[in-house]
A and B are shown apart, each in its own frame.
Chain A
């Protein structure tokens, strides 16, 4: 039987506010345990939450960027359960009335088409602390630094039909929150995590199958692998005549399997009710306008513009606009050089990206500034150096050996475009390779490449390849 996978994602993205959502404690990652928790975060008697306005503004930004409705009135509710890393015994979240709802984003499919994924809602909530089960001799340690960190939980409709779509959706949301500057999206630090609701159904059937929820998938790769393995498990169960139990499952990346965490029967009754310590959040149209005015150009719009204004392929434009900083870098290169957008795109996606990846750097920490790359491309465009030499120059600049100009001069890399010098080099090569010349003249024209290579080698790679080509053809004469 043919099966269809149905996936909905719940993405928890940590908002990049300076302080926590309901207290003034800082949100910085990696501090000594329990050094960034105020009395509010610790759930002391008598303390009260006060909403961080910055978190509200960030949620509005996300809502505007995804075509969501911004609720004029949303309500914080308490989600009650006991756990040592949940100091108050409840999490302040939003339940019936989220701050933004009913939006959508576009994802690109592998066949070049795009697909609309509906966003049910995105709501504000506080994160819990961390339980540390190792290093305490059978006891558990609690670190409450993360308690009270603002999260935006983004819930999609079950519109995703494959692991690839789920991955594309997650990447798109990741791109978006970073564009909006509302999250650093750092997955290692847990700033961007995902739960997946997965079910399968016979292809063509409308009714949804029983779903399971996969918890805490904290990398793109894990999301795809976990869904893949879980969907296959469900298919195996169903094809074996079994039924799927609604439950929460945990993905184990070491064994690449999912296993039961808790069944529906064991699920908590969270006893949600409106938090009486917080007033409903009221958002006036004026505030929405104010926030809208601060929105950057969004990835879809930027992609369209890159295709149109720079005559790039959709693929190239997609790669360049996946990160706002990369797109900005690309545009700065284009603006600072006469080499043209295509050349700039190739270099940004090629040498630059490779160097960043090799050294594990973000675009913000690049060692070749946009202006420097622009200068380098100018040297290619005006024939000062060849593309091949340019790569050498790029490496040298990356390694801090000086500016583009300095490296070219210091290493004597200026391209040889003087035709007399090139003719001399060509004559030497013709004289030294009579057999190949013979073959060429006999019609084996592929030999030209060998001869060009010999000239380039003799010139230390500096001869203008086009001129070498032309001179060889001229001197060898047209093949019969």
Chain B
């Protein structure tokens, strides 16, 4: 039953061909069997999941279920879950039990989804390989010597290995799309503000956005229509109606124009990836889409701009982790003077990548550097937004690679942060411009999945999901399951 999509499982649940409790037990068994080798979970909430499954079964019996009632899912450990450890992949929060639910946790729970656990992630979502986690790296189900991508690596691996039906993630510079691509699944980062950030531990507030990691675009639609929508607890959430994505994706195909940024296909892209992407774009053409070449002239500024803005915000967002009210406190730190107390708590509580970004962010906000870095980066951000605005005056969707190459080896890039950062070169633009973007499987290179990225204008999630769904109706890349997990 784990080979089915969320949409299929939902059908079986409502037809009472399977119970929520059976499903939950089945997936919990798979987690027990496989997670030792994958390390996709930080916390498994077995008892709570079974209790909720029993409640879901009662709801299904009464006939007041939603399409998500009884669906086993997992949350990235960045989302606060009341009464459950919420670590954000960090030693700093290893002892932190959240006293409240994130808005999306609450909404999915109200819809009846069953949470099996909290997934591994790069520490405070800072990383592209899931190697910065305090809980150790997650392994890619396609090849356990490789990374699954990051920072939502645990969610991606869990869905790819069919340990859950679907999972939540967050994407600040590609943290949903990149692991989705490297793990062979579908991931969507909605428009900035589409999904509430309340209860999602902040990395870079102006870029962070919650989304989903699923087998298919249709599954993403089913989750997103529950997660999305205005939240009075988040001033930056958009007060716009939420379309019925799951209905819209099934409407007939319309002729659309897909823009292909030629500068996305330059030397930085693995030629085999490029070939797979071109083949997938040809499938869109067969469906009746028109392809149009274009350029995004300032996209080369995205990585440098991102690595100013994101660390700047992070350096401030992470100031609250001081060991005073919650979180890691070094042994006997309370006996030290104040400065030593801070230095020991934060020095021991944070890992090296988090420290690197706090230092970078503190530097770029400092007196005398603010104008040269932070303000310049904001200007670059505007130029990138303008590029996209020009593109969307001509095309409906921009399509290109999600990553430069397939998954890389664990430990292969940890010594060179710049190489690691360049892995996000194609994904960061959508965060800087606040645009919705997704990645879907589009082929295989050397046995490893390749992701196709679709980017749309503001609030065009339905358009992206529909295009992806129609492609997935005529292709089968998304149905492949990594060897050993079938």
Contacts and interface: CB of A to CB of B under 8 A. Distances in A.
Interface stretch (A103-111, A269-277, A309-317, A345-353): A269-277
A44 B82 CA distance: 13
Interface size class of A (residues with CB under 8 A): 20 to 34
B74 interface: no
Given A45-B80, A88-B319, A90-B316, A273 B98 contact: no
A273 B316 CA distance: 9
Interface string B309-327: 0001101101111101110
A96 to B, nearest CB: 11
B324 to A, nearest CB: 5
B45 interface: no
A87 interface: yes
Interface in B82-103: 86, 88, 93, 96, 98-100, 102
B96 A45 contact: yes
A67 interface: no
Q: Among the interface residues A44, A84, A278, which one has the most CB atoms of the partner chain B within 10 A? A: A44
A78 B86 contact: no
B348 interface: no
Contacts of A272: 365
Interface in B204-232: 204-206, 232
A80 interface: yes
Contacts of B367: 269, 271
Determine chain B's interface SS by DSSP, over half rule.
loop
A291 interface: no
Contacts of A142: 324
Given A87-B320, A277-B235, A278-B236, 14 more contacts: A39-B100, A43-B325, A50-B233, A80-B365, A82-B319, A89-B320, A271-B315, A272-B365, A273-B316, A276-B204, A276-B205, A276-B206, A276-B236, A276-B313
A279 B192 CA distance: 13
B76 interface: no
Nearest to B341: A84
Given A50-B235, A277-B236, A279-B235, A43 B320 contact: yes
B362 A89 contact: no
Contact of B205 (A43, A44, A82, A277): A277
A142 B341 CA distance: 15
B93 A45 contact: yes
B139 interface: no
A396 interface: no
A48 interface: yes
Q: Among the interface residues B99, B201, B319, which one has the most CB atoms of the partner chain A within 10 A? A: B319
Given A142-B324, A273-B374, A45 B316 contact: no
A203 interface: no
A46 B80 contact: yes
A47 interface: yes
A89 B316 CA distance: 7
A371 interface: no
A135 to B, nearest CB: 16
Contacts of B100: 39, 44
A190 interface: no
A139 interface: yes
Contact of B324 (A84, A90, A273): A84
Interface of B: 79-80, 86, 88, 93, 96, 98-100, 102, 197-202, 204-206, 232-236, 312-313, 315-316, 318-322, 324-326, 334, 338, 342, 362, 365-367, 370, 374
A45 B101 CA distance: 11
A278 B198 CA distance: 13
Contact of A273 (B199, B326, B365): B365
Contact of B365 (A49, A82, A271): A271
A362 B96 CA distance: 48
Contacts of A78: 316
A48 B197 contact: yes
Contacts of B200: 46
Nearest to A37: B325
23 contacts: A39-B100, A42-B325, A45-B201, A45-B321, A46-B102, A46-B197, A46-B198, A46-B200, A46-B201, A48-B198, A48-B233, A51-B235, A80-B315, A84-B324, A88-B319, A89-B322, A142-B324, A269-B367, A273-B313, A276-B204, A276-B205, A277-B236, A278-B236
A139 B233 CA distance: 35
B366 A269 contact: yes
Contacts of B202: 45-46, 277
Nearest to B327: A45
Closest 7 CB pairs of A and B: A89-B319, A271-B365, A276-B206, A276-B205, A43-B320, A46-B199, A45-B201
A139 B98 CA distance: 27
A418 B202 CA distance: 88
Contacts of B236: 48, 276-279
Interface string A70-114: 000000001010101001111000000000000000000000000
A60 B365 CA distance: 31
Nearest to A43: B320
